[in-house]
Chains A and B, each alone.
Chain A
Amino acid sequence: MHPRFVLQEILTGLRRNVTMTVAVVVTVMISLTLLGASMLTTRIANRMHQKYFNQLEVAVYLRNDVTQAQRETLNQQLSDDPRVEQVAYVSKEEAYEKFKEEFIDSPDLIQSISGPNVLPESFQVKLRDPKQYEDVASKYGQAPGVDQVYDPQRALQPLFDLLDGVKTVARIVALVAGAAALLTTFNTIRLAAFSRRREIGIMRLVGAGNFTIQLPFVLEGVIAGLLGAASAVGLLALFKSWILDNTLKTFFNTGVVPNAQWSEVWSVAPWLAGLGILVAAAASYITSLVYVRV
Chain B
Amino acid sequence: MIKLDHVSKTYKSQARPALNDVSVNLEAGEFVFLIGSSGSGKSTFLRLLLRAERPTTGTVHVAGKDLSRLPQWKVPAFRRQIGCVFQDFRLLANKTVAENIAFALEVTGTSRHKIAAVVPEVCQLVGLKGKENRLPDELSGGEQQRVAIARAFANKPILLIADEPTGNLDPQTSIGIMKLLDRINRTGTTVVMATHDAAIVDTMRRRVVELDRGRLVRDQARGVYGYAN
Distance between Cα atoms of A209 and B75 in the complex (Å): 9
Contact partners of A213 in chain B: CB under 8 A: 107
Question: Is A139 on the interface with B (CB-CB < 8 A)?
Answer: no
Would B51 and A294 count as touching, CB distance under 8 A?
Answer: yes
Would A206 and B155 count as touching, CB distance under 8 A?
Answer: yes
Q: Which of B73, B108, B155 has the most CB of A within 10 A?
A: B108
Would B76 and A209 count as touching, CB distance under 8 A?
Answer: yes
Chain A residue nearest in CB terms to B102: A5
Indicate the size class of the contact surface on chain B: 20 to 34
Give A170-202 as 1s and 0s: 1 = Cβ < 8 Å from B's Cβ atoms: 000000000000000000000000000011011
Would A208 and B92 count as touching, CB distance under 8 A?
Answer: no
Question: Is A207 on the interface with B (CB-CB < 8 A)?
Answer: yes
Question: Is A203 on the interface with B (CB-CB < 8 A)?
Answer: yes
Question: Is A1 on the interface with B (CB-CB < 8 A)?
Answer: yes
B106 is contacted by which of A2, A209, A294 (Cβ under 8 Å)? A2
Shortest CB-to-CB span from A153 to chain B, Å, is 60
B77 is contacted by which of A1, A5, A205, A207 (Cβ under 8 Å)? A207
Question: Is A212 on the interface with B (CB-CB < 8 A)?
Answer: yes
Q: Which of A264-294 contact B (CB under 8 A)?
A: 294
A residues contacting the other copy or chain, number (CB 8 A): 19
A210 is contacted by which of B51, B76, B94, B103 (Cβ under 8 Å)? B76
Contact partners of B155 in chain A: CB under 8 A: 206-207
B109 is contacted by which of A12, A210, A212 (Cβ under 8 Å)? A212
Give B55-89 as 1s and 0s: 1 = Cβ < 8 Å from A's Cβ atoms: 00000000000000000110111111110100000
Shortest CB-to-CB span from A208 to chain B, Å, is 4
Q: Which of A211-229 contact B (CB under 8 A)?
A: 212-213
Contact partners of A199 in chain B: CB under 8 A: 92, 103
Contact partners of A207 in chain B: CB under 8 A: 75-82, 108, 155
Shortest CB-to-CB span from B44 to chain A, Å, is 16
Would B52 and A198 count as touching, CB distance under 8 A?
Answer: no
Question: Is B186 on the interface with A (CB-CB < 8 A)?
Answer: no
**Known A206-B107, A294-B52: A198·B78 in contact at CB below 8 Å:** no
Chain B residue nearest in CB terms to A198: B92
Question: Is B16 on the interface with A (CB-CB < 8 A)?
Answer: no
Contact partners of B152 in chain A: CB under 8 A: 206
B84 is contacted by which of A205, A208, A294 (Cβ under 8 Å)? A205
Distance between Cα atoms of A117 and B79 in the complex (Å): 92
Contact partners of A212 in chain B: CB under 8 A: 107-109
A interface vs B, CB < 8 Å?
1-2, 5, 12, 198-199, 201-210, 212-213, 294
Extra 6 A-B pairs, beta carbons < 8 Å, given A203-B107, A294-B72: A207-B77, A207-B79, A207-B108, A209-B76, A212-B108, A294-B51
18 A-B pairs, CB-CB below 8 angstroms? A2-B106, A5-B106, A12-B94, A202-B90, A202-B104, A206-B80, A206-B84, A206-B107, A206-B151, A206-B152, A206-B155, A207-B76, A207-B80, A207-B82, A208-B108, A212-B108, A294-B52, A294-B72
